[in-house]
Chain A
């Protein structure tokens, strides 16, 4: 039964109006750690250690107070100052973030020679200046204490790091000699890697091959597009992913392809997609229609207008149905294949109708790793005339090149003893990220020489003989070709960290290979041999593709400055030649089991490469909002409008921060998992993220691994007849509940704004006289004691509507805003006067967030953490509602209860001009600036937390513990895990000097006991203003951009001076879909949101 709900909700307890939810929504501070500390303190026993501690403290305190001796601080200037560096001024270098097939052209911000932040490079036509969460977090991995500081031998599964601290390990010369000694010209060598996008790296491998002719490069991707490449090879003779143009598509049908989050080139696709999704003029409102066919709510699915729920195993049937519907209309032969239920088939046919109505301006994509299904998708696109329009091969993507069957062959060869040596490139972790990892590990024992280039130890490194770590990309020279003809350079932004500390240091993998091959192409005498090699290759190839520069040096300087060199090739005319009936025969048959499970990639963890990055671990998953681990998503049903049922009645206590743990059996392998209830999860299916459950993560990772974050799902995956990895399993079975996860870290119910008033039966309370929902605010004010404390009706948090009814939506917003304004006029405070006298001159900072463009990808969230030194707190602290993020992305559901639409709302300090937090601060630590900023002064804050209580948006964060180790006395420092997570030196995270190098020197590192919150990146505002003043000119829009704004791939966030009529933000403020969150409470916020509009059609409602 369809139950439509016009309101938005965030979860089951919100719908049922659970008393616990009411309480949680009112309770600002959850589970104070003070209670626990007090408990400890109250214990009567005083140990000798305690006595010594207090004695030490008193002594220290007395010394400080009495002596007043200020420590002597040193200022160390350069001996010879590099011309490009002015201490205190940031220098930006263009470079490229590359991790396997993940690509982003970036500008790296360095301060005094250390990279502290990554921004998008707007000169790139691929990423258009956008970034992803992974890109933003990559700077932290440079300072990962897990990284190997030099080459090491590995014995018995352990890296031979000298046990004595700072003792010298083996030198490169020693290791080089040993490895070269084991290589013979006839050796059968395999180089195993994730996708290599770099033309120069491939050239280096070719040069290596010249010396060792029996070398083969094997590429694979943990989340593979193997079937897509094979299908394109079969149909068009092009074994690549084509160039998709989501910006030209008016109808998009995606079968399980998470193109906004993780599929092939998400930054590029998100930017293109958003162009057709935002609405600026409601009179000529247009919007593409996006239909997602899937079982689990993916990030892309959550943005879709319609989701057609289909089991993972029935994806093939869905594709066959769509093909037949399109073929029937375009006069192509129908194919026979598996069938969908009639209800599902009707929806697919409706999608076919949409597609056919927009031939040449539609796009069908599929994430499936079945070759037959991909060929059918190609046939559909061909029938729709999309080739040459929304799909072309000229600028085809090279971001997925891995072929599953190659790696299968490698595993066979290894086990057959036909491999003499294997080199495993950085990022690739086959002992973990292959479904047949066990066979791979077995095969490894039969290989003579095994070398790992991985920067930090992983599951595969420990199986090798040598660890010869490569540089982090921020220390490397290199290049990338993400799309044909789109080149991008990688340049180092810091001297290799460990070598500079006097250790043996890391060395670029390509250089190591060339040295072992002792080829003439590498000038080993040069200061930076690989730079020479790279330049030579560019001179011989890229330089010849252009005519703007006469000399190579000029060309090189320009390319290095821009970071990118783009010489797009002409589009390639292709003709479809595929056997559709043979393809249909290959299509998967829908499974018959009661429960199926799909394994999906998340925006933060990828295939597991990013597991060692705490920023990404702590970034809530956009859809299920859980952190630090993968959680088993189970479906929920909502029956009769007020009763919900979850699968096996699991997770009734999510609201209390507790979740059930179940034992799940797949292919007779069992694992224990924490459950999370997920709206939009198809009945009869489960969902689970891959990339978690890593065992070996280096030094910091060792500690992480003690409790193993999440579960490893690779062993549950299967391999089809073509050798392609399948990311689902048909035979999932919940064996039973094991125990409860007492530290269920899901931010879903943290910091909730507003509650819809319902009675205990879940019915909306209506005003007796009008019949309308009761306005509890008014009621409470009028008759004291009559209202319900905290029960608030219909607050304006989210506005959403359908494209068809957009005028109605705009009118509704206008009405509500007029009403709010009328309410707001009833004030005794002369706001108008302030506004005229103070805010009308100078700057007034405003932000605009377009909810139609926001896809919820989380790049802004990580960017904010990097820019503002926001601490990482760990799973247990998140569970206690102590996450510190200044910017959160709220996820709301609306529409159909069982298959809802989603709206993401980035929520940060709204910088209210009439801020409720400011009035209640007893020490005026938070107050207002003449530029409309809600200022927070940490050194004045005494930690009463009244402001956080009084903040209607719940954006203020309190440092309960010393997360940053910034306190004078080390007490209450925070270890990130339940079991006290120690890093290598037994230090809390952020205490290590290497980790601290990531801190932004322009932003105070907050200590324990103060409130902090979004500052609108005031350090950037001040810097922008100073630039304008020094150049004696008015401020430009480009002078001041917040970190979240620059990180956003879709341009959803715009920031600027609202007083300047020509600024982008001022223009956006005229959008008729704009509204202000909680406008009716008269806080005069500075952030405006544009309402979410979906493009739904009845044809899809069954």
Chain B
């Protein structure tokens, strides 16, 4: 995983380097062709608009249906009507259906009862941009499409600093040799002076003797102790911390897709964050709110979503929950979901082949691996998904999400990083006490907005009114006291 990632980074770096040069060369040509640039700007604007408005229901590959139909080829399908009809459809579809527009009626019959959200604020230009983006995505000829080929939210690596370690090491070596040579020269000169003055020692210390002298050995031991102590303490502090921890999860759930691309609010799934100590990992039935409609994933197809269906007992072929799923024998479960995977394979392929069989078996094995946990005594497919916990606090530390999210109004990203850009979630913050304390020192309390704070802390209010105090931090109201977090 890490290997692949770094390779890709390198490739994209080279690519970018090349591109810059080509860009420089073609500068004049580019200036001569303003229309192309304009097109690209329009498509980029369209992309943003699509993500913000359409992507919640329409598949971004434009080829497959989601909650709403695949949008590729929209303009062709509406070609027999005036352009304004399509535009007003996008702005307010129900009005068109009520008006009895033939194309609108046809779509309604196909998709009812799901109605498309109205977007009355979209301008003609914006709609044109969206359509342009849809068209180029569908046809696969968007400018810069190659760069966007990978997962959309793959974080773009910042230009890495050149590795200077070798240089430093060389420099250090040269300096050390220089010091040695100079020391030697000095000692020779000293010796010569002594000889000149006629009180030269009988024996001149060799280099080996100097290096093995008591002073040098003492210095080396001292240095080793200091260095060793420093390393030990540093590592001891790190013991038990797992910043950057990025375990593999039973389901390849992508926050980049859900939070980043689809812009689903964090608290839609993590609904404990505003009212509980725990942010709460969503129950599988929360997933089902959307995935009753979205049954095939954009990245992994049936591989990951079927795991959720198998956990809760949802039959995606008939769109029904299986009664008495808890008692269903494993063989039946296997048959059911293998069939589902197979059916989906056949959607894209003409017939079952060896590769197809292998895929079905692989995906089924994945389901078994994700949902069974024999070492914990869980030998059933049915039942909860056991996620790997990433953020672990020690037992003696009390943390409350509601306090930070509801009262402190802290953004999730402050502690969890840009989760919306993470394909696989990793621990962003060190979760160390020093890190907590620093934040409590700096963060300002929402002193003016909350009636609770208004009722207390009379002195701070006076000081603020008198201009003696500009802000009240968490520390000021006792946020560094032990028993705020340890009890």
Contact = CB atoms under 8 A, between A and B. Distances in A.
A938 B484 contact: no
Contact of A86 (B276, B373, B487): B276
B392 A79 contact: no
B452 A1034 contact: yes
A76 B384 contact: yes
Given A72-B247, A76-B384, A80-B312, A1032 B451 contact: yes
B285 A79 contact: yes
A837 B457 CA distance: 11
Interface stretch (B65-73, B294-302, B474-482): B474-482
A81 B385 CA distance: 13
Given A930-B478, A1005-B395, A1015-B483, A76 B452 contact: no
A158 interface: no
A939 B486 contact: yes
A4 interface: no
Interface stretch (A124-132, A838-846, A946-954): A838-846
B389 A88 contact: no
A74 interface: yes
A852 B403 CA distance: 40
Interface in A910-954: 927, 929-931, 933, 935-940
A70 to B, nearest CB: 6
Given A79-B311, A935-B483, A73 B276 contact: no
A79 B452 contact: no
Interface string B16-30: 000000000000000
Nearest to B457: A841
A288 B231 CA distance: 73
Contacts of B275: 86, 89, 1030
A843 B384 contact: no
A390 B242 CA distance: 69
Interface in B300-334: 311-312
B458 A841 contact: yes
B49 interface: no
A1082 B449 CA distance: 40
A1004 B485 CA distance: 11
Contact of A77 (B284, B401, B406): B284
B222 interface: no
A935 B481 contact: yes
Interface in B376-396: 376, 383-389, 392, 394-396
A1025 B239 CA distance: 34
A1099 interface: no
Nearest to A1016: B483
B460 A76 contact: no
Contact of B283 (A79, A927, A1029, A1034): A79
Nearest to A1004: B396
A1029 B407 contact: yes
B450 interface: yes
Interface in B351-400: 373, 376, 383-389, 392, 394-396, 398, 400
A413 interface: no
Instruction: Select the residue from B247, B276, B398 with max chain A CB neighbours within 10 A.
Output: B398
A653 interface: no
B63 to A, nearest CB: 33
A940 B478 CA distance: 19
A918 to B, nearest CB: 11
A736 interface: no
B477 A842 contact: yes
A1019 interface: yes
A582 interface: no
B282 interface: yes
Given A80-B312, A86-B275, A1032-B451, A1018 B400 contact: no
Contacts of A74: 373, 376, 386-389
A49 interface: no
B388 A929 contact: no
A937 B406 contact: no
B407 to A, nearest CB: 4
Interface residues of A, number: 49
Contacts of A840: 458-459
A75 B276 contact: no
Interface string A1015-1048: 1001100100110111011110000000000000
B435 to A, nearest CB: 16
A319 B160 CA distance: 98
Interface in A82-100: 86-89
B383 A79 contact: yes
B281 interface: yes
A1021 to B, nearest CB: 9
B277 A89 contact: yes
Given A88-B278, A1002-B398, A1028 B452 contact: yes
A1102 interface: no
A52 interface: no
Contacts of B386: 74-76
B387 A1032 contact: no
Contact of A88 (B239, B276, B406): B276
Contacts of B486: 937-939, 1004
A78 B384 contact: yes
Contacts of B282: 77
B143 interface: no
B460 A841 contact: yes
A574 interface: no
B456 interface: yes
Contacts of A1003: 487
A35 interface: no
Contacts of B392: 70, 73
A755 to B, nearest CB: 33
A1005 B387 CA distance: 25
Contact of B384 (A79, A841, A1030): A79
B430 interface: no
B439 interface: no
B402 interface: yes
Contacts of B239: 68
A936 B453 CA distance: 26
B240 interface: yes
A940 B366 CA distance: 45
B417 interface: no
Contacts of B455: 1033-1035
B312 A79 contact: yes
B105 to A, nearest CB: 38
Contacts of A1026: 400, 402-403, 407
A1030 B284 contact: no
A939 B396 contact: yes
A1000 to B, nearest CB: 11
B280 interface: yes
Given A70-B242, A79-B384, A1034-B455, A88 B280 contact: yes
B240 A70 contact: yes
A1003 B397 CA distance: 10
Nearest to A966: B395
A89 B484 contact: no
Nearest to A1034: B455
A935 B457 contact: no
A841 B459 contact: yes
B482 A87 contact: no
Nearest to B481: A929
Given A86-B272, A937-B483, A1002-B398, A80 B285 contact: yes
A475 B459 CA distance: 52
A931 B478 contact: yes
Nearest 8 pairs of A and B residues by beta carbon: A88-B276, A1034-B455, A88-B277, A81-B283, A88-B278, A935-B483, A78-B283, A937-B482
Given A77-B384, A87-B278, 11 more contacts: A72-B389, A75-B386, A75-B388, A76-B386, A77-B385, A840-B459, A841-B459, A842-B456, A929-B482, A1022-B398, A1034-B455
17 contacts: A68-B239, A74-B376, A74-B389, A76-B384, A77-B280, A78-B384, A88-B276, A929-B482, A936-B483, A939-B396, A1002-B398, A1022-B398, A1026-B403, A1028-B452, A1029-B453, A1033-B451, A1034-B455
